[in-house]
Amino acid sequence: MTELGKALRVTTTAIPGLVIWDLPVHGDNRGWFKENWQREKMLAAGMPDFGPVQHNVSFSDSAGTTRGIHAEPWDKLASVATGRVFGAWVDLRDGPSFGTVVTAELDPSRAVFVPRGVGNSYQTLEPNTVYTYLVNDHYSPDGTYTSLHPGDETIAVDWPIPLDQAELSAKDRAQGSLSDVVPIPPRKILVIGAGGQLGRALRAEYEGRAHVEFAQRADLDLTAGDLGSALPWGQYDTIINAAAYTAVDAAETPEGRVAAWAANVTGVAALANIAAEQRLTLVHISSDYVFDGSSARPYLEGDPVAPLGVYGQTKAAGDQLVATVPRHYILRTSWVIGEGRNFVRTMLSLADRGIDPAVVDDQLGRLTFTSELARAIRHLIETRAPYGTYNVTGAGATTSWADVARRTFELAGHDPTRVSGVSTAEYFSQSTTPVAPRPANSVLDLTKIESTGFVPADADETLGDFVRVETRNASEAAAR
C-alpha cells in the first residue's frame, strides 16, 4: 500500500552516494499524484545535479521477476509507478566500500538514487509492476557492463521470493560471483598544466592515484583550437585547469596581450564548452588581480571585479566563462609560491649572496603555497562541496611583500633589517619595459572555504617549513 502525504526526505545508506528518497504522494478519490523528479526541491535536499538524458520504463507481468545485478556507467534515479519492488544494491566500485550490500523496498512513495558503478537489482513483489528510471548517459547495446549473480553467496541477499522460484534471464543466471568482479575504477581526473608550479603540487597531492592523469602543454595545448577532439572526454569526471598565462608585466605588451587572451580566455572557453557538454566538473584557478585593490576590507567571492591590467582582465573574463559550467569550482588565490622560480627563493638567494633588497611595502596580502592550493582543490572535489567560487590563500596575518622578505631573511638566519621597504611607484620608477598595475589590497576572505570544512594552513608557518627545506637542501648540495 502506497503511503500518502510523506514529506520529501533523504535516507543515506552504507553505500556512499546511494540514497533512498521518500517522495510526497498526494491522493484522493481519483487516485494519486507525485513529483517523481523535481530538480529544484531535490537539489535543495541534497540530490546531485546529475543531468538525466534518458527516461526508461520497465514493466513486469508477474511477481518475482528479478533483474540484475548490473553496474552501469551512469547515475540513475529509479522509482516505481505502480506495484512494489524489492531492490538490492552492491557497491562494485574500487575502494573500501567494495562489496557492501544495501536492500530496501520501493513503492510509488520511495525512490533510490544509484551512483555510477553501484550494482543494482530489482525483484517485483506484485504482478503488473512498473518502475521507471532516469539516467545521465545514453544506453549503448554494444556497451560492456559489470554484472554479478543475484544469488551469489558472498553478498547473501535475502530475496523475498527465492531465486529458484523467481523469473530471471539466462544472462543473469550465468553471471559470476563477487570474487570474479574487477572493481570499477572511478572516472578519471585530468590535470592540465601539469608542468607548472601548481601542476607539480597536484602531482604530489595525487601521487599513487591511478585515475588522475597529468597533461603538460606538449600533451594538451589550450590554445591549439582542437580541444574537443583531443581526448575521449567521456572517460573523465573532472578537469583541473592549472594552465594559465601568468606573466603579468609581459601581458601589457602587444605580443603578451595576445598570448594572455589566448590561454586565459579562448582556451578556457573551449574547456568550459567541453565540461558543459560532457557534464564534467571544471576546476579553474583565478587571481586577486581581478580586483583593483581599493577595498578597505578583505575581498569576498561575490565582490564586483574591476581588473587594472591585461592579466587581470583575462582572468576575470575566464572566470565568467567557467561560471557558466553547471559543475564548476573557481579558486581565487593570491601571492602564489611553489616549485620553480618564486619570490621566496629569490629572497633566499639575495640573502646568501649578501645583497640587501628594496621590496614593495604598499601591497598587502597573504602568501598561498601551491601545496595548500592543491589540497583545497582535492578537498572541494572529494567532499562535493557546493559548486561556485572560493577564495583560497594561506591563513594568518596580513603582510606586505617587504614583510615576507624580512621574515624569509629571518627564517634563513639573516638580519631582516637588510630589507628596506619602498612604494610600488618607487620600485618600478626606473623600469624600461611595461609594468602591470598591481592591486594594493590582495587580502581575500576565507570564510566560505572554511565553511566546507577546509582549514587553511597559517601562511607564516608554511613559509617557515618551506624555508627550512630550502635551507637544508642548499646545505646538502654544498656538502656534496
Structure confidence by residue, pLDDT tens digits, 427-479: 999 888 999 999 999 999 999 999 999 999 999 999 999 999 998 887 777 77
For 160-177, write each residue's pLDDT tens digit. 999 999 999 999 999 999
Mean pLDDT of 3-24: 92
Q: Which pLDDT belongs to residue 268?
A: 97
Confidence (pLDDT) at 199: 96
From the number of C-beta atoms within 10 Å of its C-beta (0-12, 13-18, 19+), residue 295 rates as middle
Summarised one tens digit per residue, pLDDT across range 96-111 is 999 999 999 999 999 9
φ, ψ for residue 178, nearest 5 deg: -60, -35
164 by Cβ neighbours in 10 Å (0-12 / 13-18 / 19+) ranks as: exposed
Size (the chain), residues: 480
Q: What is the pLDDT of residues 34-56, one digit of tens each?
A: 999 999 999 999 888 888 999 99
Please name the residue that has the C-alpha cell 570499477.
184
pTM over 0.95: no
How many Cα atoms sit within 13 Å of 55 on the Cβ side?
4
Residue 145 has pLDDT above 90, yes or no: no
| Backbone dihedral angles phi then psi of residue 8, each to the nearest 5 degrees | -65, 120
pLDDT tens track for 298-318: 999 999 999 999 999 999 999
Supply the DSSP symbol for 65: B
Q: Mind listing the pLDDT tens digit for each residue in 182-217?
A: 999 888 999 999 999 999 999 999 999 989 999 999
Average pLDDT, the chain: 94
Amino acid at site 446: L
Contact call for residues 14 and 96 (beta carbons, < 8 A)? no
33 pLDDT more than 70: yes
The amino acid that residue 173 corresponds to is R
pLDDT in tens, 370-413: 999 999 999 999 998 999 999 999 999 999 999 999 999 999 99
Give catalytic residues, as residue numbers: 70, 133
pLDDT score for 143: 74
Q: Are 89 and 18 in contact (CB under 8 A)?
A: yes
Residue 1 confidence (pLDDT): 62
Domains and CATH numbers, the chain: 9-180 (2.60.120.10), 188-479 (3.40.50.720)
- C-alpha cell belonging to residue 253: 605588451
Q: Where are the beta strands (DSSP E) in 96-245?
A: 101-106, 110-114, 118-124, 129-135, 146-147, 188-192, 212-215, 236-241
Mean pLDDT of 109-135: 95
What integer pLDDT is reported at residue 377 of this predicted model?
98
